Amino acid sequence: MAADELADLAALLADRSRARFLLALMDGRAWTSSELAEAAEVAPSTASEHLTRLVRGGLLVERRQGRHRYVQLAGPKQARLLEDLLAYLGPTDPPKRTLRASAATRALRRGRTCYDHLAGRLGVAITDAMTTRGLLTEDLAVTDDGLTWLERELGFTPPATRRPLAKACLDWTERRSHLAGTAGAHVCAHLHARGWVRRIGTGRAVRLTPTGETALEDLLGVTAPE
Amino acid sequence: MAADELADLAALLADRSRARFLLALMDGRAWTSSELAEAAEVAPSTASEHLTRLVRGGLLVERRQGRHRYVQLAGPKQARLLEDLLAYLGPTDPPKRTLRASAATRALRRGRTCYDHLAGRLGVAITDAMTTRGLLTEDLAVTDDGLTWLERELGFTPPATRRPLAKACLDWTERRSHLAGTAGAHVCAHLHARGWVRRIGTGRAVRLTPTGETALEDLLGVTAPE
DNA sequence: CGGTCACTTCGGCCACCGCCGAACCGTCGT
DNA sequence: ACGACGGTTCGGCGGTGGCCGAAGTGACCG
């Protein structure tokens, strides 16, 4: 009977913590389990259980990456469901909020840090440019040309650590891989040090400065995303 | 926080029986507590508690009438919420069902029995006509003229019971009062006996027959509703 | 007045659920 | 190899909530 399905669906939403998760995920980004645990103020174990329920219930999709578990709203259908419910809950004042939120989301999509390297369209653009110039292989390993280039242009010599020099990191907003590893971290640090990118506010979003724009154009032929 | 409100709302829907109630109430009509209890297959006491919750939660409105408790969806906003949820639950096949259901609803709105008297637009129209002709007062008491009219036209003499001769009964689809009591019951019985109205199918809906249409026009100047 | 009927309230039973901390598992980085 | 760290699993605790039957309330009817 349809009533049972309705009740099951509602039960999935009928919890304070899960509701907080979903609201947070309304920004369309992928969050890690611990980020959500902190946002909802529950223990990591609790968050983990909630996430499995939400994924099983089809509201979220997950992607394991290394030791992280990323979750995201499963799709526009699910987002729409939440919007409908929030609309019912009434005169929220989202004209400003939604605008701010979507502006924030756009900024994050354009460029951001992912731990210690660059992600978003900016990260992808740099990675692509390095690949087409033969500095990286298709599966994001550093070529010999790449090594000399990093040395000459960025003053980068690979440290003697076990951390891989280059690694592919899947980008959740772009659904593309971009450069991580020590090389990726160094590129990010270098761009910050030169003042080519700057953090926006307190979050992970970054923007390309005017000097950075011309510098990247010269260096790699990268044009500012968006 | 908005998450709490969302969770509360969802909790209201997150029960098998309550979901069944709401689905039944999607026809827009007012149901009694026991009708819903039977429809959801729970004890009357259980149904009663669920209804209080749904009313307190703002999804339903109630109206006590005699020993009955009628409940109805609180409004279009609530109906819309349920439709959105059902839409999410996916490819239901409501094209035919909705059509049938709305046809049934239209028939009920046009005319139906309410226990032993007439309700819907037909009941209201007859009541209005009797009022404008001075057979009933504004608050639906039978006047002297009304008494002689009932006697002469309908062969009705008030029985010696404690049941009131005439009474106002609130109509849920029309949000108007119409004639109940022994007089109302007699009018209904009379119209049935003469073949002026006939039951549609097995439910409470009735329709005016062609002869009934002209008869009522002659008798009270009532034109068939709709 | 007395009987019926629709509904409500109450008490008790049982199941489920959310929460946490502790222990455990893989991955990462040195 | 080792420690740090993100995440998961498990056991146990406490609260909530749905369900029913029995008893109570109040309207209705003859």
Q: What is the pLDDT of residue A193?
A: 86
Alpha-carbon span A173 to A109, nearest angstrom: 6
Task: Give, as ranges, the nucleotides of chain C with any atom within 7 Å of a protein CB.
Answer: 1, 5-11, 17-23, 26-30
Which chain A residues contact residue B13 at CB under 8 A?
6-7, 10, 14
Q: What is the pLDDT of residue B94?
A: 47
Integer distance in angstroms from CA B102 to C1' D5? 60
Q: Judge whether residue A106 has pLDDT over 80.
A: no
Q: Judge whether residue A113 has pLDDT over 50.
A: yes
Whether B77 and A84 lie within 8 Å, measured CB to CB: no
Question: B157 or B42: which carries more pLDDT confidence?
Answer: B42
Mind listing the pLDDT tens digit for each residue in A49-101?
999 999 999 999 888 888 889 898 887 788 889 988 988 987 654 444 455 55
The closest nt to B16, taking CA to C1', is: D18
Contacts of A127 (CB under 8 A, 6+ apart): A136, A140, A177, A178, A179
Q: Measured between CA atoms, how close is A70 to chain B, in angstroms?
A: 21
Please tell me which residue of chain B has the smallest CA distance to A77.
Answer: B88
Q: What is the pLDDT of residue A94?
A: 47
Task: Report the share of chain A in percent with pLDDT over 70.
Answer: 87
The closest nt to B167, taking CA to C1', is: D28
Alpha-carbon span B75 to B140, nearest angstrom: 28
Integer distance in angstroms from CA A1 to C1' C15? 22
Q: In chain A, at which residue ranges do the beta strands (DSSP E only) sit? A: 31-32, 60-65, 68-73, 112-114, 117-119, 167-171, 176-180, 197-199, 206-208
Which chain A residues contact residue B4 at CB under 8 A?
16, 19
CB atoms within 10 A of CB B43: 9
Q: Judge whether residue B161 has pLDDT over 70.
A: yes
Mind listing the pLDDT tens digit for each residue in B1-43?
788 999 999 999 999 999 999 999 887 778 889 989 999 999 9
Mean of per-residue pLDDT scores for chain A? 83
Please tell me which residue of chain B has the smallest CA distance to A5.
Answer: B89
Please tell me which residue of chain B has the smallest CA distance to A23.
Answer: B3
End-to-end CA distance of chain A: 48
Which tokens sit at B102? 């709305």
Mind listing the pLDDT tens digit for each residue in A153-193?
888 888 777 677 887 776 656 656 788 888 888 898 899 88
Interface test with A, best of B4, B12, B13 (most A CBs within 10 A): B13
Which chain B residues contact residue A9 at CB under 8 A?
85, 88-89
Alpha-carbon span A195 to A213, nearest angstrom: 11
Q: Measured between CA atoms, how close is B45 to chain A, in angstroms?
A: 20
Whether A89 and B6 lie within 8 Å, measured CB to CB: yes
Average of pLDDT values for A109-117? 77
Which tokens sit at A114? 């992912």
Whether B2 and A88 lie within 8 Å, measured CB to CB: no
Q: Judge whether residue B95 has pLDDT over 50.
A: no
Helix or strand (DSSP H, E) at B177: strand B176-180
Burial class (CB in 10 A: 0-12, 13-18, 19+), B57: middle
Which chain B residues contact residue A2 at CB under 8 A?
23, 86, 89, 92
The closest nt to B44, taking CA to C1', is: C7
Which tokens sit at B213? 């249409």
Q: Measured between CA atoms, how close is A1 to chain B, in angstroms?
A: 9
Which chain A residues contact residue B86 at CB under 8 A?
2, 6
Average of pLDDT values for B97-104? 59
Residue B56 in contact with residue B98, Cβ under 8 Å? no
Which tokens sit at B81? 């919420």
Q: Which of A92, A54, A78, A72 is nearest to B87 (CA)?
A: A78
Average of pLDDT values for A101-113? 73
Please tell me which residue of chain B has the smallest CA distance to A4.
Answer: B16
